[in-house]
Structure formats: C-alpha cells, structure tokens
Structure 1
Amino acid sequence: MSNTRNTQESQGSQKPQDSQSSSKSNDKQNDKQTAQKRPSPMDVLRQARGQLAELTGMEAESVSSFEQTDEGWALEVEVLELERVPDTMSLMASYQVELDAEGQLTGYRRVRRYERGRSDARRPGGR
C-alpha cells in the first residue's frame, strides 16, 4: 500500500513540471510564429519601395537610410521627381517613410528636394 501511495505522490509532483515545460515550449512556438510573421529587412525595403511608388506614382531610386523603431521601421527613400536633360539637372526628392512592424506603410512625407548633380550645402563649422 505504501508503494502505491509513493507512486501516486511522485506522479503528482511531476505534473507541475510537465506543465512548466509545455508552457516553455508554447512560448518558444509563439516566438517562432512571431518571427515567421515579421518580415525580413529586405522584405521591408521591397515593400516600402513598392508601396511608395504606388502612392506617389514615382519609382524609388535608392534607400539612403533604414532603421528599426519601436513602432516598426523608418526609411529615407530617394525618388526621381522630374527627369531632365542632362541627367544631372533632374529633380530628386528624399521621402521619409514609416512602416509598421509587418512592413505596411503608415505614412510618408517629402523632406528635401534637390537637383541630382548638387551636393548638400556645407554646414557652418563642417568640413
């Protein structure tokens, strides 16, 4: 009879451990599923360029800045706004683009417009 009781007690003590290990495995599965839902940085770049082109009607030429934020992603995208001859006189623009964590565009704005052949003006005290 004492053997039966010890067996039941030991089985009872194993149940919490089993639930802890299954909860850990569930956490790992959820982390993997979240990671699978989260797009890669290259996917985010492609989506941002495509979505901006669809909204503005202008193709992105390059991405000059790209970073992950608490809300998702922030990019600065260079766009050809007006093609001219010679090409160095074409008008370019920098757009600040914001995306959510899944890579969906949540907002954009033009922050700068410039001729392709011109560099940024020197800042006071800069080289």
Structure 2
Amino acid sequence: MADTESSTESQSAAAESADGGSAKKAPARKRTTRKSPARKSAPRKASARTEPARPKKMSGTRVAGEAARQLLELTGKQAEGVIGLERTEDGWKVEIEVLELSRIPNTTDVLASYEVTVDSDGELEGYKRLHRYVRGTPGED
C-alpha cells in the first residue's frame, strides 16, 4: 500500500509542476442561459363583464359572396354574379344571377335570378327563384 500512496503523491507533484507549480483548480465557469427578448403584449381589452361583446357586422361584399356560396351548395348551380344587395332590419337580401342551363351558343343559356335572405351573421335564412330568362334576350328593365 505504501507504494500506491507514494505513486499518487508523485502524480500530484507532477501535475503541480505541469500547472506552473500551483495545485489550484480553475474556477468553474458559471453557465448563463439566454433569455428570449420580452414579448410585447397587445393592450388588454376590457373584460366581457364590463363591456358586452357586440357581434361584428358583415360587409356587403362578404355577405354577397357567402350568399352565393350557400346558394351553390343548396342548388348545385353556379352563380354568374350578384345583381342586387339590400340591407334589411334582420340582415340582408341578395339577388343572385345563376346559370340554370348551359347551351351552345352560350348566348342562348338559360339564366335565373334568385333572392337570397341572409341574417346579420351571414347565415342563409331562405331563397327563392324570382324569374328565368334566356341570356341573349333583352330584359324587362
């Protein structure tokens, strides 16, 4: 055992001389963690208790597009365009021109105008066909 102790002493002495004669350990580096930059938060809105939430009013453009999409979903007929838009007490009335029957030449296509009623949230309440006509014929306007 004496040999083992003397060999460890000689190893530590060799380590001291390699370090320039000092047996001190270098101080451990303190690890720092990077913090992400503080996020700017949006100004807080008033709580629902103090201010009742108002439903956002839909624009006429959005209502017309939504009405055409819902009419296509129900009838399977493609809208040619919106030909009338009117705000009512309960929502909107949208008049949509629809391709009823495609023919060759397309000037003889059969079109129809539909009146679609939509509530203030943009949900379809009802629709009805107002009249049918051939594309190339002059209207009653």
TM-score of the superposed pair, with normalisation by structure 2: 0.61
Identify the match of residue 115 of structure 2 among 92, 96, 109.
96
Quick one: distance in 2 between partners of 1:40 and 1:120? 29
Instruction: Give the 3-state SS of the residue equivalent to 1:120 in structure 2.
Output: coil
Task: Kindly indicate whether residue 96 of structure 2 is the aligned counterpart of residue 44 of structure 1.
Answer: no
Query: How far 1:116 moved relative to its partner?
Result: 0.4
* In structure 2, C-alpha distance between the alignment counterparts of 1:45 and 1:96, rounded to whole Å: 11
Structure 1 residues 80-91: aligned runs within 5 Å: 80-91=99-110
Taking the aligned partners of 1:109 and 1:121, their CA distance within structure 2 comes to: 19
Give the structure, 1 or 2, with the largest relative contact order (CA under 8 Å, sep 6 or more): 1
Tell me, in whole angstroms, the C-alpha distance in 2 between the residues paired with 1:62 and 1:80: 10
Task: Give the 3-state SS of the residue equivalent to 1:102 in structure 2.
Answer: coil
Q: CA RMSD in A?
A: 1.7
What is the match of residue 120 of structure 1? 139
- The runs of at least 4 aligned residues of structure 1 exceeding 6 Å deviation read none
The C-alpha deviation readout for 1:23-79, integer Å capped at 9, x for no partner, is xxx5xx54xx4253x222221111101000000001111111101000100011000
- Name the structure where helix makes up a greater proportion of residues: 1
Find the aligned partners of 2:134 and 2:86 in 1 and give their Cα distance: 26
In structure 1, runs of 5+ residues without a counterpart are 1-21, 123-127
Structure-1 residue corresponding to 2:74: 55
Counterpart of 1:34 in structure 2 is 54
Report which of the two structures shows the higher radius of gyration computed on alpha carbons: 2
Which residue of structure 1 lines up, in the alignment, with residue 89 of structure 2? 70
Report sequence identity in percent.
42
Q: SS of the residue aligned with 1:34?
A: coil
Aligned pair count?
Answer: 93
Normalising by structure 1, we get a TM-score of 0.67
- TM-aligned CA deviation for residue 119 of structure 1: 1.3
> Aligned partners of 2:94 and 2:106: how far apart in 1?
25
